[in-house]
Amino acid sequence: MKAVVYSGYRELPVVTDVPEPACPAGGAVVEVRATGVCRSDWHSWQGHDPVALPNIPGHELAGVVASVGPAVTRWRPGDRVTVPFVCGCGTCAYCLAGDAQVCPHRTQPGFTGPGSFAERVAIHAADANLVGLPESVDFVTAASHGCRFATAFRAPTVHGRLMRGDWLAVHGCGGVGLYAVMIGGPASSAPTSSTTRRPSRSSPAAARTCRSTRSARRSPPSTRCGRCGGAAGTCRPVSCSAPPPPRRCPWT
């Protein structure tokens, strides 16, 4: 099959022929119909997140089940599916508690094994990790949600514990920030305010659910929420902006 492969960090990726993926006993092989390109793929290519080389990147995917292992009970060839960007084992205490993203035996396409920049990709623990796609959701839409939706979802709904009447303040309106705005507001009917260093990114958020948007370049820093005054229990901040790069010592 065809796949995008890089043989060394920062080397030019090439489209080449690679062996077909083996189907795990409890997993599935998915025929990839769409895949996203994530900043994490760039980090692995740069060598920031070490991977086995040569590597097939890609972890945001949607497609059709091509084959399943003998231990799989929930899926069959032809099913339309997507997957989370971190796949748990499905049986440990973390997975059973709904925290598969910190499963000690987790796998991740494109990092722990070949990824979705290929015609087909193997997914472990299919019964725990595959997510069915309704016909109303096309493959490109499902793949474009990828890890930005999964990353944003738990922040306002689980950790932020948004309640009706809370203000949700989202700092940073890139991919994750915009999804936090889209998820957090409707999830609790919370009025939402967004802050971004790139004003051009604020217009999609404002057009959907934001009550207000602000430019971080023009707004002075504040330790209190400009909407609620920082009163306890009324404002839930979510930071979706990348930290500034570390300053390097001029003597090293």
Q: Are residues 57 and 117 in the same domain?
A: yes
| This prediction's pTM | 0.77
CA distances, 29 to each of 6, 60, 112, 146, 183 (Å): 22, 15, 16, 18, 31
Residue 218: give the domain boundaries.
160-239
Residue 201: pLDDT above 60?
no
Same domain, 20 and 98: yes
DSSP structure string for 134-180: -TTS-HHHHHHHHHHHHHHHHIIIIIS---TT-EEEEE--SHHHHHH
In whole angstroms, what is the distance from residue 87 CA to residue 108 CA? 6
Q: Are residues 117 and 8 located together in one domain of the fold?
A: yes
- Do 174 and 130 lie in one domain? The reply is no
For residue 121, is pLDDT > 60? yes
Provide mean pLDDT across the span 220-228: 47
Give the pLDDT band of residue 129 (cuts 50, 70, 90). Answer: very high
pLDDT grade for 221, boundaries at 50, 70 and 90: very low
Same domain membership, residue 190 and residue 95: no
Question: Does the structure show a pLDDT above 70 at 3?
Answer: yes
pLDDT tens digits, 94-106: 999 988 989 999 9
Does a structural domain hold residue 251? Answer: no
The maximal CA–CA distance of the chain, rounded, in angstroms, is 60
Specify if 248 maps to a domain. no
**CA–CA separation, 236 vs 221, rounded Å?**
17
Residue 230 pLDDT class (50, 70, 90 cuts) = very low
Tell me the per-residue pLDDT of 77-120, one tens digit each, with 9 for 90 and over.
999 999 998 999 999 999 999 889 899 999 999 999 999 999 99
Same-domain check for residues 43 and 94 = yes
Whether 22 maps to a domain, the answer reads yes
How many domains, in total, are found in the chain?
Answer: 2
Is 34 in a helix, a strand, or coil? Answer: strand
